[in-house]
Structures are given as structure tokens and as C-alpha cells.
Amino acid sequence: MMADKFAGIFAAGEGSRLQAAFPGTPKPMVPVRGAPLIEWTVRLLRQAGIENATILLNSKGRSAKEHLKKTFPDMKFVFIIKDTKSSYESFRLVAQTLAEETDKFMMSAVDSLYNPADLAEFINYAGRTEFDAALGITDRIADEKPLWADINEKGRITALGEKAKRKIYATNGLYCLAANIAREMPEPARYGALRQYLGELVSGGKTVMSALIPQSVDVDDETDIKLAEDFITRQLEKTP
């Protein structure tokens, strides 16, 4: 089974930068254009043909589970409720759960929205390309702490983070992973952040490819809500 049917969303973060505007509201349930943020993420996956979604929520995000089950009765969900200690632990937990079901899968952060056509192309690319991992990248950098990525002429990532020299592309929260790599992931205490693990994949010689995702938006703080709503109006609401 390939990446066109299975996807994961890690939504266990606290969303501390959104709490001032939405006190007590779990990040997945922050309202964006009349619907919770996570609803837009799942809607986008469904538009791209995803049938099975594994979703990690923290203990404060249980309301998102009930909302999604009610809103998308045709989707097959696996919900994981856990208060993880790092982005790497969240990524690992979702990845290893998906690796039990399929040999290749995609994953997304809950706060990243993409153009549906770009997401569909990423999934198609993942299905026809051999790699250990593939990362979505963008040259439209709006992140306060971008994870820079150098790539070669074939699209292979040659350096990540501090080792990247060109500072043209950065990752944008979209991932595809081969199941055998997920099964080999070290214990959570090994890394304090996902970017450390991804950097070691690259420096350790694993085949980590890139796919350009030109249009996306991340919802990290209150100022991003308007950007996300404009993006939804232009990109997501046009697609049934």
C-alpha cells in the first residue's frame, strides 16, 4: 500500500502562541473561517484522496476527536491521545503507527495548509519515487525559525538546518516516510526536536528527497489566522 491512502497528522502541540487570542482552546480546535483548524487539514487530505488518517492529539484535544468523527463519517480514523514531550516524539509515534498499516505514508502538521493540487502532486510524487523520506519545501519563507534545506539537481536534500548553506529553501511541514525507516526510529529521548532527527537522516546518508510546495500557510499565532482565512478562500473553498 502506498502514500495515496494513508496519512498522519500530529496535533499534540500546546499552541502557546495562540492562547492569548483563544484562551483554553486546544490548537486543533482554534476557529478559522467558521471551522476548527484541524477540520480544514482533514478536508484537504480527503480532497487529495486520503482514506485513512492517524491523528495524534494531546489530552486537552479530545474534543477534536469527537468533532472529526461527526464531521467526516466516511473517513477511517485512528486517534492517539498522548501528551508528548517533543516534536520528534510526536512524529515518531504517528510514523510508527502508520508503518504497521502501509509501506509508505505521508504526514502533516495540523497547522499547515496547502493548495490541494500541490498536495495531490506531492502524493503522486511519493508514489512513483524511491526514497527513505521526502520533505515538502518552499522558497516562500515566513517561518521565524526555518529549517533550511539544500538540494542537488535531482531534488535530493544534501544538507538540513545549520549545515545548509544556500538559504533558498526551507521545509514546510509536509513529510513522506518509508515504513522501514519509521520502524528504525530511535527512542524519543534521543532527540529534543524533529529537525535534529531529520538532519541526521540526511547527514547519515539516507535518501531524503524534496518536493517543491509553492503555496502554503502555517498557523502559529493570531496574526496567521487572517492569512489562513484568505488562503482557504482562494485555495480550499474552490475545491468540493
pLDDT, one tens digit per residue, over 197-213 is: 999 999 999 999 999 99
Q: Which of 92-96, 167-171, 235-239 has the lowest mean pLDDT?
A: 235-239
What are the angstrom distances between the C-alpha of 39 and each of 16, 62, 72, 229?
20, 14, 9, 13
CB 106 within 8 A of CB 174: yes
**What is the pLDDT, as a whole number, of residue 1?**
43
User: Is the model's pLDDT at 237 over the cut of 70?
Assistant: no
Which residues, in sequence order, are bridge partners of residue 52?
A: 6, 76
Give domain 6-236's CATH number out of 3.40.718.10, 3.90.245.10, 3.40.50.300, 3.90.550.10.
Answer: 3.90.550.10
pLDDT, one tens digit per residue, over 32-63 is: 999 999 999 999 999 888 999 999 999 999 99
* Domain parsing of the chain, residue ranges: 6-236
**What is the pLDDT, as a whole number, of residue 135?**
96
The span from the CA of 216 to the CA of 124, in Å, is 18
The reported pTM is 0.92
Alpha carbon 173 to its chain's center: 4
pLDDT, one tens digit per residue, over 148-158 is: 999 999 999 99
